[in-house]
């Protein structure tokens, strides 16, 4: 973490007042998040993972303006991990997504089965320079194996969580899954699959006039 003192230089050459800017950054600054799913007929299930998140637990020591409704040691989220020094070049995002799926959810995945879920996003650009790349992959949940993690202490005790897609979206909205990247990825997956969680229906189940008007935002990345 670094604290900078910055000021804006305007187009006319004038300068703004100095202000403090705290920036949190890691050596491996960017990350990949992948939402794993299986569709059987009208039912779509997603594979999530629950693990320890120390920063959330440590919030209990703070004098919060709006206290948390509960203390959290673990959180449910999609598989994700940082891009490592070797993750360069074509298909690197897909390879990293496959590696994280195996480490965190016990799911063996061919990188060629990974699809991009739109463009990358900055989760909190006022305080961190991290950028998250989003992806999805269809899997067979029954083929999942034991979660081995990446060897770090933070991944000890990680467990797999399988939920219906709509239930997972609802859990994000009501705070049971309070993870921003997970909600964003799930909603992008809904677009990718043509699924409308508000109606619990697929686009091909809509009346013909509504199907003709349906045009989801682009979610397939480069």
Question: Of all residues in the chain, what percent carry a pLDDT higher than 70?
Answer: 98
The answer, yes or no, to whether residue 222 has pLDDT greater than 70, is: no
Give dist(CA 38, CA 58) in Å, integer: 35
- Do residues 218 and 187 make contact, with C-beta atoms less than 8 angstroms apart? no
pLDDT, position 221: 54
Q: What is the pLDDT of residues 111-156, one digit of tens each?
A: 999 999 999 999 999 999 999 999 999 999 999 999 988 778 888 8
Give dist(CA 65, CA 100) in Å, integer: 35
The residue written with tokens 């463009």 in the block is 119
Mean pLDDT of 201-221: 84
pLDDT, position 220: 67
Give dist(CA 85, CA 66) in Å, integer: 39
Give dist(CA 103, CA 147) in Å, integer: 6
pLDDT, position 116: 95
Helix (H, G, I), strand (E, B) or coil at 9: strand
pLDDT, position 169: 98
Mean pLDDT of the chain: 94
Give dist(CA 34, CA 137) in Å, integer: 7
Q: What is the pLDDT of residues 80-93, one digit of tens each?
A: 999 999 999 999 99
The residue written with tokens 């879920």 in the block is 117
- Do residues 194 and 204 make contact, with C-beta atoms less than 8 angstroms apart? yes
Q: Quick one: pLDDT band at residue 219, thresholds 50, 70, 90?
A: low
Structure tokens at 44: 């779509």
Element housing 213 (H / E): helix 208-213
Among 74, 78, 24, smallest CA distance to 53 is for 74
Give dist(CA 149, CA 211) in Å, integer: 42
The answer, yes or no, to whether residue 175 has pLDDT greater than 90, is: yes
CATH fold for the domain made of 30-63+70-196: Nucleoside Triphosphate Pyrophosphohydrolase (3.90.79)
- Do residues 181 and 33 make contact, with C-beta atoms less than 8 angstroms apart? yes
Question: Of all residues in the chain, what percent carry a pLDDT higher than 90?
Answer: 88
Q: What is the pLDDT of residues 52-73, one digit of tens each?
A: 999 999 999 999 999 999 999 9
The residue written with tokens 């693990």 in the block is 51
The answer, yes or no, to whether residue 97 has pLDDT greater than 80, is: yes
Which residues, in sequence order, are bridge partners of residue 164? 45
């Amino acid at each position: 973490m670094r604290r900078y003192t910055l000021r804006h230089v305007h187009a006319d050459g004038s300068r703004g007042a100095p202000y403090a800017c705290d920036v949190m950054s890691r050596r491996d600054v960017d990350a990949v998040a992948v939402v794993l799913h299986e569709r059987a007929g009208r039912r779509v299930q997603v594979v999530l993972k629950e693990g320890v998140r120390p920063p959330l637990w440590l919030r209990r020591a703070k004098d919060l303006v709006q206290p948390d409704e509960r203390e959290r040691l673990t959180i449910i989220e999609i598989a994700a991990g940082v891009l490592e020094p070797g993750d360069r070049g074509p298909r690197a995002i897909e390879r990293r997504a496959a590696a994280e799926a195996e480490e965190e959810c016990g799911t063996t995945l061919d990188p060629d089965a990974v699809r991009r879920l739109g463009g990358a996003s900055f989760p909190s650009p006022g305080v961190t320079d991290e950028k998250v790349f989003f992806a999805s992959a269809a899997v067979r949940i029954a083929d999942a194996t034991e979660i081995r993690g990446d060897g770090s202490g933070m991944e000890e005790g990680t467990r797999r969580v399988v939920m219906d897609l709509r239930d997972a979206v609802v859990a994000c909205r009501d705070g049971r899954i309070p993870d921003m990247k997970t909600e964003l990825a799930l909603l992008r997956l809904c677009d990718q699959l043509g699924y409308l969680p508000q109606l619990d229906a697929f686009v091909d189940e809509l009346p013909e006039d509504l199907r003709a008007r349906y045009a989801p935002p682009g979610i397939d990345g480069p």
